[in-house]
Chains A and B, each alone.
Chain A
Amino acid sequence: MRRVVITGMGIYSCIGKNLEEVTKSLYEGISGIGIDPIRTQYGYRSPLTGIVERPNLKTLLDRRLRTGLAEEAEYAYMATKEAFEQANVDMDYLEQNEVGIFYGNDSSAKAVIDAHTIVLEKKDTTLMGSGAIFQSMNSTVTMNLSVIFKLKGVNMTISAACASGSHSIGLGYFFIKNGLQNMVVCGGAQETNYLSMGSFDALSAFSVRTDDPHKASRPFDAGRDGLVPSGGAATVILEDYEHAVKRGATILAEVVGYGFSSNGGHISQPSNEGSYIAMSRALADAGIEAKHIDYINAHATSTPLGDMYEAMALEKLFGELKTPISSTKSMTGHECWMAGASEIVYSVLMMQNSFVAPNINFETPDEHSANINIIPKTIEKNIDIFLSNSFGFGGTNSALVVKKWTK
């Protein structure tokens, strides 16, 4: 089996628009959460959200390449551009080599609603414009990035709810490990507009701690009252080790394990058993035991039930080991379709800079989170291997194990 390494990363999020800014925010425990007033006018129960600035692509891409980009695809472009730059992959390379893409995305609501609004008013579909179809489809990210970056390998979108980004990396890893591709762009993207999250708000799943937005996302804390939606995009460039060496790339980390499972149960409630299976499979695939994990980036979104089930699964595998755990969603909010990819980027940044980013707002443990080692303040720590969890609606679970690069 071939070894799969990460040679480039890019991030565009509410805690920073590039790797440098995000590293600083992670280290300092900065929250990217704020209030979006239009949500209250629209009828949301909660106006809290990650605040992500739309990039200006006018100087970066010509009109034809911009027209089909939905909001989340713009974020994905920015993250992928940064990732290719770090991987030292330019357009000449992309034109002459086969590179694939697996990218997580599970909605493009604003594009659909905007197009629908035009037709309601004009009674004429031809007045939607040429971009509506390319923005409206779930595959907006992969269809646009494959055109912009001239990708010629595997090309598809992974829609797996809040585990989309994680599964996309898992599948890229499988394709390279099994010799099907030498390089795959993997990642996750999430729109942040108010039109995209109303139906999630309808479940009363969002925090309403509006008096202090930075305190609203508090995974594992006894006082948590729901998640805060967020978004942006994160990209990792996965590559066959030999291929990376041959082209002189700098190796950032190695993906060594991917585990998945499905709960076969409730549509929205997670399961401690399903997440335990995904984590165990990822460890088995990596050929390591729980004691070898130095850090766990938890899925924990700040919902009462979700965090409880994950804490139970983590206790079963890691409770006695006291492995350091944090949910970076305490700072970013829940980046949904993007989260599984962004949290790999966040964790590799911690690995590169030898620290564990804090689970901010973890002030009072509950009966389950008291049994695991949650890190409320940044600690300096060498990380050789980490585990990252992602779980989604419908009971989809994904876990990835990533190792510091050693020959």
Chain B
Amino acid sequence: MAMTRQEIEKITNEFLIEEIEIDADAIAQDARLKEDLGVDSLDFVDIVVIVERNFGFKIKAEEMAGVTTLGAFYDYIEKKVNG
């Protein structure tokens, strides 16, 4: 089922804040996942699990190669969810 961009961003922000415990104030389209949000390699393992649970697809590491900002991460999820 297709999801709006707004829904995708809302769900993603919620799990980043609630489950990965990223500071809500740091959430921004241009925030860099590693440098600004502090997502490390172990956090990424958990993000894979949470995305699978929330969006029903499995992140592939090679597809994430160029995804460095939160905005690009929303784009990636949108593409996977809505084709």
- A residues sitting closer than 8 Å to B (CB atoms) are 62-64, 67, 122, 124, 126-131
Closest B residue to A129 using CB positions? B49
Q: Of the candidates B20, B43, B48, which one forms a contact with A126 in the assembled complex, judged by CB atoms under 8 Å apart?
A: B48
Contact with A along B32-62 (1 / 0, CB 8 A): 0000000010110110110010000010000
Query: What residues of chain A lie closer than 8 Å to B63, measured between beta carbons?
Result: none
Contacts of B25 in A (CB 8 A): none
A127 partner residues in chain B, CB cutoff 8 A: 48-49, 52, 58
Contact of A63 among B20, B45, B48, B52 (CB under 8 A): B20
Given A67-B42, A122-B52, A126-B58, output 11 extra A-B contacts at Cβ < 8 Å. A62-B21, A64-B42, A64-B43, A67-B46, A124-B58, A126-B48, A127-B49, A127-B52, A128-B49, A130-B43, A131-B46
- Complex: A129 Cα to B21 Cα, angstroms: 16
| Tally of contact residues, B, Cβ under 8 A | 12
- Bound together, the chains give a CA A129 to CA B52 distance in angstroms of 11
Chain B residues near A67: list those with CB within 8 A.
Answer: 42, 46
28 A-B pairs in the complex with CB atoms less than 8 angstroms apart: A62-B21, A63-B19, A63-B20, A63-B21, A64-B40, A64-B42, A64-B43, A67-B42, A67-B46, A122-B52, A124-B58, A126-B45, A126-B48, A126-B49, A126-B58, A127-B48, A127-B49, A127-B52, A127-B58, A128-B49, A129-B45, A129-B46, A129-B49, A130-B42, A130-B43, A130-B45, A130-B46, A131-B46
Chain B positions near chain A (C-beta within 8 angstroms): 19-21, 40, 42-43, 45-46, 48-49, 52, 58
A127 to B50, CA, bound (A): 9
How far is A64 from B22 in the complex, measured between Cα atoms in Å? 11
Least CB distance, B37 to chain A, in whole angstroms: 13
A128 to B42, CA, bound (A): 12
A267 to chain B, nearest CB (A): 39
Provide the bound-state CA to CA distance between A62 and B38, in Å.
13
Enumerate chain A residues within 8 angstroms of B48, measured Cβ to Cβ: 126-127
Closest to B50 in A: A129
The 3 closest A-B pairs by CB, nearest first: A130-B45, A130-B42, A63-B21
Q: Nearest B residue to A128 by beta-carbon distance?
A: B49
For the complex, give the distance between the alpha carbons of A58 and B20 in Å.
Answer: 12
Chain B residue numbers with a CB within 8 Å of A128 are 49
The residue of chain A having its C-beta at the shortest distance from the C-beta of B52 within the complex is A127
Chain B residues near A131: list those with CB within 8 A.
Answer: 46
The distance from the CB of B83 to the nearest CB of chain A, in whole angstroms, is 22
B18 to chain A, nearest CB (A): 10
* Contact residues in A for B49 (Cβ distance below 8 Å): 126-129
Bound-state CA distance A18–B31 (Å) is 43
Q: Within the assembled complex, what's the spacing in Å between the Cα atoms of A63 and B19? A: 8
Residue of A nearest to B20 (CB): A63
Chain A residues near B52 (CB, 8 Å)?
Answer: 122, 127
Closest to A131 in B: B46
A128 to B48, CA, bound (A): 10
Cβ of B21: which chain A residues have Cβ within 8 Å of it? 62-63
Residues of A within 8 A of B46 (CB): 67, 129-131
Set of chain A residues within 8 Å of B40, measured between Cβ atoms: 64
Interchain nearest-CB distance for B40 vs A (Å): 8
Chain A residues, Cβ within 8 Å of B20: 63
Chain B min CB distance to A387 (Å):
45
Bound complex: CA of A62 vs CA of B19, how far in Å? 11
Q: How far is the CB of A94 from chain B (nearest CB, A)?
A: 23
* Cα A131 to Cα B19 with chains together (Å): 13
CB distance from B82 to the nearest CB of A (A): 22
Q: In the complex, A131 Cα to B42 Cα: how many Å?
A: 8
| Nearest A-chain residue to B40, judged by Cβ | A64
Q: What is the CB-to-nearest-CB distance from A268 to chain B, in angstroms, rounded to a whole number?
A: 39
Q: Which residue of A lies closest to B42 (CB)?
A: A130
Q: Tell me the complex Cα distance, A272–B52, Å.
A: 56
